[in-house]
Amino acid sequence: MRVRLRRSSRQLFPEEDFALRVMRIRSHSPASLHEHDFHELVVVLGGAARHVTSEGHYPISAGDVFLIRGDMAHGYEETNRLMIVNILFDPAGLGLPTDDLRRLPGYHVLFRLEPLLRRQHGFRSRLRLATDQLAEAAGLITRLENELVGRPPGYRFMARAHLMHLIGFLSRSYADAPAEAAERRSLLALAGVLSFIERHYAEEITVDRLAGMAAMSESSLMRSFRKVTGRSPIDYVIALRVAKAAELLRRTDLAVTEIAFRCGFNDSNYFSRQFRKTMGRSPREYRKQQAAGGPA
DNA sequence: AGGCGTTTCCGCCAAC
DNA sequence: CAGTTGGCGGAAACGC
C-alpha cells in the first residue's frame, strides 16, 4: 500500500514532496480508463460527456463538480466539446489544515458522503454550480494553475492557499444550493450531524439530539452513520475527542485533567481509560514519548 | 419505525 | 499532588 502510493506519487506529481497538480482535458475523443491513488477533484467547465467508472456511468455537463477517490478507475465517453479540469492532490501530503473545514457541512458531502453513496444515489446528489459560481471556481483554478506552471517564489504557499480557497468555496456552494431532492436532503442531514460533532465535540452529545437535528429516528441515524463513517456515533465522538486531546498533549503543556475537560470528558479517570483504549498508552506516557520524538 | 435484551458509556469512589 | 487503574451502578447506546 505504502509502496504503491510512493511510486504513484513520482508518476503523477512533478515534485515528489508537493502532491498537487492541475490537468486540463480538452477532449473530443473518448479517454481510456485510468487509475491512481490520489484524490481527483473534477470540475466540468463546459460541454458534456458520459463519465464511466467501475461503479457505473453518469452523464455530466458544465457546472458539475465531483470527487474521484484515489484508487478508482474512470474515464469519459461520448464527449461533446468537453472541457474539464482535474485537480489531483494528496490531502494528507499537502498538510492542509482541515480542522476548520470539517465544520462545514458541504465539505463532508463533497469529500466523503457523495463519493461514498454515489452509486445508491445515482449521481443525483453531486454538486452542480450555477453559472456565476462556475465562473468563480474557474477563476480560482486558473490562479492555482498559474502558480504551479510559473513557479514564482512562494508558489507552493500560494498554490496551497488557492486550493484551500477553492475547496472552501465549493463546500459552501453545496450547502447553499437548494436541496429539493430527497437524496440531497439526507446527505445534508448527515453532513449536518458530522459538522455539528466537529463544532461541539467538547460538549455533551447524545444520539437523541443528533437524530433530532437530522430529523431521523435514532435507529436509522445510527445505521446510516455507520455506513458512512464505519463506526457508531458515540464511537466517532470519542475517537475525535481522543484525537483532539492527543494534539493538546503534543502541542501544549496543559495538565492532563485540564485537557480531558477541554475535549469533552467530564471525568479525567474516564478520559485516561478511553485514551489508553485507542492510543495504547496513558496520556502522560503518550506526551512523554512524543516529546522524545518517539512513536506516533 | 419501534421493541427488547445486551453491551457500552460515564461519572463516582477508592487505591495505588 | 497529578495521574492511572479498578470497581460499581444507573443511563444510554447498540444490534437484532
Instruction: Give the pLDDT confidence score for residue A74 in this predicted structure.
Output: 84
Please say if the pLDDT value at position A14 is more than 90.
no
Considering only CA atoms, which of A99, A55, A51 is closest in space to residue A75?
A: A51
> How do residues A58-90 score in pLDDT, each as one tens digit?
999 999 999 998 767 788 888 899 999 999 998
Angle subtended by helix axes A207-214 and A233-251, to nearest 10? 110
Please say if the pLDDT value at position A157 is more than 50.
yes
Residues in contact with A245: Cβ distance below 8 Å, sequence separation at least 6, in sequence order: A259, A260, A262, A263, A265, A271, A275, A283
CA A111 – CA A96 distance, rounded (Å)? 14
Residue A101 DSSP one-character state: G
Residue A215 grid cell = 430529523
Please say if the pLDDT value at position A97 is more than 70.
yes
Does A232 contact strand B, using a CB cutoff of 7 Å? no
Does A278 contact strand B, using a CB cutoff of 7 Å? no
Please say if the pLDDT value at position A32 is more than 70.
no
Half-sphere exposure (Cβ direction) of A81: Cα atoms closer than 13 Å = 5
% pLDDT > 70, chain A: 91
Does A235 contact strand C, using a CB cutoff of 7 Å? yes
Does A207 contact strand C, using a CB cutoff of 7 Å? yes
| Cβ neighbours around A74 below 10 Å, total | 18
Chain B positions with a protein C-beta closer than 7 Å: 1-3, 9-14
CA A214 – CA A206 distance, rounded (Å)? 13
Report residue A127: phi and psi, to 5°.
Answer: -80, 130
- In this complex, the nucleotide whose C1' atom is nearest to the CA atom of residue A237 is B9
Please say if the pLDDT value at position A262 is more than 90.
yes
Please say if the pLDDT value at position A260 is more than 50.
yes
Residue A140 grid cell = 480560482
> What's the CA–C1' distance between A198 and B12, in Å?
28
- In this complex, the nucleotide whose C1' atom is nearest to the CA atom of residue A216 is B1
Please say if the pLDDT value at position A276 is more than 80.
yes
> What's the CA–C1' distance between A52 and C10, in Å?
54
Instruction: Give the pLDDT confidence score for residue A176 in this predicted structure.
Output: 83
CA A137 – CA A121 distance, rounded (Å)? 25
CA A68 – CA A121 distance, rounded (Å)? 15
- Yes or no: say if A125 and A118 are a contact pair by the CB < 8 Å rule: yes
Strands A74-89 and A39-53: antiparallel
Instruction: Tell me which residues from 108 to 137 on chain A have a beta carbon below 7 angstroms from nucleic acid strand B.
Output: none
pTM: 0.88
Which residue's C-alpha is at the least distance from the C1' of C12? A206
Does A32 contact strand B, using a CB cutoff of 7 Å? no
> How do residues A162-208 score in pLDDT, each as one tens digit?
999 999 999 999 988 877 788 888 899 999 999 999 999 999 999 99
CA A271 – CA A233 distance, rounded (Å)? 18
